[in-house]
Every structure is written in C-alpha cells, then in structure tokens.
Amino acid sequence: MIGKVLQARYQIVQNLGSGVFGQTYIAVDINYPHQPKCVVKQLKVNSFHSSHLDTIRLRFLTETETLKHLGQHPQIPNFIACFEENERFYLVQEYIGGHALTAELPIAQNWGSVWREDEVITFLEDALSILQFVHSQGVIHCNVKPENLIRRAVNGKLVLIDFGSIQSVNFGIDEQVSIYQVPATSLGYIPPEQFIGKTQINSDIYALGMIAIQALTGLEPLQLKIDPDSNEIIWRFADTPVSDYLAAILSQMIRYNFQERFQSAAEVLRVLQQMKWETSLPQLLQTQQIEYRQEPNSEASPLITGMKVGLAVNTLLMGLGTYSLLSNSPANTETELLYKATQEYQDGDLQQAIALAKLIPSHSNVYPDAQATIDEWQQQWQTAAKQYSLAEQALLENRWSDVFVAASEVPNISYWQSKVKDVVQKANVNIEAQTQDLLAKAYDKARAKDFSSALEYLRQIPQESSAGALVQKN
C-alpha cells in the first residue's frame, strides 16, 4: 500500500496500523505543491458479496455524513473527502500535528511524574467539552483512549481522533465485541457493557475516567485490581494525590453499572465546576485515616453530601485498598497482606509474593483465598515463562506468526506482559524493515519490467505485515 496513489491525489506514505474497523494510513495530497499530510482510513470489508457491499456502502455514507458534522468542532479532525475505489471504501481527514496523550502520562507507579489534581481537572474539562459536543450530535465515540487524544502542537488543545468505532446513540446494534478483536491499547478503557453490545453515552465517560486515574496513579487500567464482591475498580491508595471530592467524581465516572455513573458529559462538567467553587485546589491526602462528618446545621452543598453517602464512602472502602477505614481489624490486615503479595507478584517477584501470602494464618477467613491464589500464581507463572520463551525463540528464528501467537497466550501478569511487549515490538520492527526492503526490490524490478522477479519479492513479504496481507489476497 505504501506509495499507492488513490483518486490520483492521495499518495500513501505511512501505515499507522489497523483496528477492529479498518486500516489507517498517512498520505500526502499531491495536488498541492507543498503536499500537505492527511489521514486516510480504509474500511475493513469482510465480504465482497453484492448485498453485503450494499449494506457497507449505506453505512459508510451514513457515517461519513456524521463525520462531516463532527469535523466542524475545532477539537475534532476536519472531514476532507470520502470515496469508493475498487470496491474498497476510503475516508480522508485532517492530519493533526502533535503528540498523543500517551506521551504525557506517567509510565509507572512512583515514577515521580504523576499528574497534580489541578492538571487532571484541566484535562477532564478539556476532554469532556469534546465529548459533550460529540454526544449532542447523537454519536458515541466507543474508543476513547490516550492514543486517540492528540495534543495539537500549534495551540496545545486536545483533539479527539479515530471515530472509526462510532455508534449512533439510537443505532440499536447488539453485536458483541470479542476481546480478541479489540486492540491491546484499548483494553481497560472499554466498559463492561460495551463488550456485550450495550454501549451507552456514558461508556465514553468511563474511558475518560480511567485515563484520569492513570494520570493520578501511574497505573494502566489493566494493572488495577477489581473488588470481587462489587466488580468496582480499586484505584485509590493512601498516597494517591487526590482530594475526597475528585476521588468521588472519578469513582462515579467508572462505576461498573452504567446506570450508576454520570449520565452525561455535561453532568460531570457541572460537578467539576461546583467542586472548584467549594474547595481549594490542589489538596493532597496527607493521612491514611479520613473521617466524614456532617454537622446537623452544616451549609455543605447537597452535591458533596450525596457523594459522601453514595460515592466517597464507596471510594474509601474499596479504593483505598490496603488503607481502608476498617484497616484496624485483623481480617483487613490479612487482606492488606494479600494485596501486597499480589503487587509483588505483578511486579515480578513470585517468591516474595508467595512468602507474604503464606504469612496469613490458617484461622483467617482470607486463608483459603490465599492458598488458592498461591497455586494459581505458580501455574500462571510457569505458563508465562514458557510462552515468553517460545516468543523469544520465534523472534530469533524470524517466525513472526509464532511470536504473536505465543505473546497472546502470556497470562495477564504485569512483569511478563512488559517483557513480551518488548519482544512483539522487536518483531514488528523487523517485519517492517524486511517488508520495506522487499518492496523496494520489487519496485526496482517492476520499473525494469522484470515482473516475475518483482512478484517473487512480493511473495517473500511477511504475511503479518499489511503489505503481506494484501499480497496474500491477490
């Protein structure tokens, strides 16, 4: 695809990757002397049967009309063109110069670069204002994540990109999204209801809340624990730099049950505004024990009073994890010990994790869970080590498919996921280098009209690359 010219105008110069709904490229508009960059999206077509194509064509035209309206917002890419070529559907949008929000987020817990509370509030207000407009157009983005929020270089404002997963608020699609179809970078930002085809407006609010929590904690969503009784995410710890008020807001943004979340971006914005009126910012938690008191004649606002009853208490009991209000009880001390052991396990120290878990006495209510967890840890660790070794060996032998297969079977352990991620990245770099080399040789042969040699080079392109997939189809 690299080098191909679409509509005698848009020349593909870079592959940005693929998602559930298609392939994305950077192109240059050769109709202009300075050849400005643009983004070209190719819609994935699973069947070329005429009836299926008609359905895709109708939906494509419908969604491009929506994108035209969305592109009128200054923080959403402008719509440039859409067209069909050789039974494939293309969308052209403005290229946003800048960097993804990923570059601004802390890369690890205790790294020293977690965001201040006022920075989080500024981010939320900026991003929520975009979502408020998107939702007002009857659209749900469905893929809000750090990679899809670009900090525009010219003015520092956030731009929300990649509307390839959009759904109409009233579209009525009940199709389930398989976890294997979802890009790894999206997992953790997608709320539970979206996986069963019940996407809501506040599904986007959930994603935004997870990004804010990542900024505050330095932990990616998949590194956070889940309360087994309530299914709520445990994200707040004693040293998390967040006030009770903002913690309650974030907890409501990411509630497991979408009916218990904020119902609109406007609602969250109102609460944030009221928070700024009623509190001084920033306020960092200085103690591990927090008391909530409401005097009979207090002038506290109904909003924060309600949060204390319904949200802040929930945040403390679940979110503070090892430092909850009940931390003085023996059972909670043992639960704290198991949490600490789990953290050691995720960080890569299996023996220390097991040693901590074994400190839990046999008379404790937590003891059966601890023993079962130890067994599971040992099994998962063996699997992870084996799959990592297979991925590493496949990389050395240039067996790219085997790298990806082995990597996908590594259990969700932060330590091993980080190691195998490096292997996958090396494989992708090698695939791209090999592909570009073979494409260059094929083009040279084609220019010399030695088409048989050109085809031979094309057949050697790894099928894991986008160019290789195209060669296989043809």
pLDDT in tens, 12-51: 999 988 765 678 999 999 999 999 999 999 887 766 666 6
Q: Is residue 466 very low, low, confident or very high in pLDDT (cuts 50, 70, 90)?
A: low
Share of the chain above pLDDT 90, in %: 37
Residues 259-305: pLDDT tens digits? Answer: 999 999 999 999 998 887 765 434 433 433 333 334 444 444 444 43
Predicted local distance difference test score (pLDDT) of residue 312: 34
DSSP of 386-413: HHHHHHHHHHHTT-HHHHHHHHHTS-S-
pLDDT at residue 185 is higher than 70: no
**Binding-site residues for ATP:** 41
| Ranges 115-119, 181-185, 287-291, 335-339, most confident | 115-119
| Predicted local distance difference test score (pLDDT) of residue 294 | 41
More confident residue, 128 or 433: 128
What's the pLDDT at 324? 31
Q: What stretches of 143-297 show up as alpha helix (H) in DSSP? A: 192-195, 201-217, 244-253, 265-278
90: pLDDT strictly greater than 60: yes
Q: For residue 350, what pLDDT band results from cuts at 50, 70 and 90? A: very high
Best-predicted range by mean pLDDT (102-106, 108-112, 289-293, 442-446): 102-106
H helix or E strand, kind and range, residue 306: helix 302-307
pLDDT in tens, 221-232: 989 999 989 999
**Both structure tokens of 182:** 């979802």
- 52-61: average pLDDT: 73
Residue 319: predicted pLDDT: 34
For 226-251, the pLDDT digits (tens) are 998 999 999 998 888 899 889 999 99
Instruction: Give the residue-averaged pLDDT of 362-367.
Output: 82
Q: Is pLDDT of 177 > 50? A: no
Q: What is the pLDDT of residue 339?
A: 73
User: What pLDDT does residue 94 have?
Assistant: 94
Q: How confident is the model at residue 464, as a pLDDT?
A: 64
Q: CB within 8 A of 222, min separation 6: which ones?
A: 187, 188, 412, 417
CATH topology of domain 1-95: Phosphorylase Kinase; domain 1 (3.30.200)
Interacting residues of 135 by C-beta distance below 8 A, sequence separation 6+: 169, 201, 204, 264, 265
Task: Say whether pLDDT at 136 is over 60.
Answer: yes
Q: Which of 25-29, 356-360, 387-391, 435-439 has the lowest mean pLDDT?
A: 435-439
Would you state the structure tokens that stand for residue 15, as one six-digit string? Answer: 């592959």
Average pLDDT over residues 337-359: 87
Query: Where do the structural domains in the chain lie, given as residue ranges?
Result: 1-95, 98-293+300-323, 341-474
pLDDT for the residue numbered 448: 79
Instruction: Supply the pLDDT for residue 364.
Output: 82
In this predicted structure, the answer to whether residue 256 has a pLDDT above a threshold of 80 is yes
More confident residue, 231 or 339: 231
Average pLDDT across the chain, whole number: 79
Of 132 and 58, which is predicted with more confidence? 132
pLDDT at 58 over 60: yes
- pLDDT value at residue 287: 36
Give the per-residue pLDDT at 169. 47
Rounded distance, CA 141 to CA 21, Å? Answer: 13
Q: Which residues are annotated as a binding site?
A: 41
The answer, yes or no, to whether residue 307 has pLDDT greater than 70, is: no
Nearest alpha carbon to residue 101 among 75, 138, 82: 75
Domain 98-293+300-323: state its class. Answer: mainly alpha
Task: Provide the pLDDT confidence category of residue 323 given band limits of 50, 70 and 90.
Answer: very low
* CA angle, 213 then 232 then 234, to 5°: 50
Q: Which residues, including other chains, have CB under 8 Å from residue 126's CB and lie 6 or more apart?
A: 75, 157, 158
Q: What are 366-411's pLDDT values in tens digits?
A: 788 788 889 989 999 999 999 999 999 999 998 887 888 888 888 8
Pairing, β 149-152 against β 225-226:
unpaired
For CA atoms 429, 434, 440, 442, give the dihedral sign.
negative
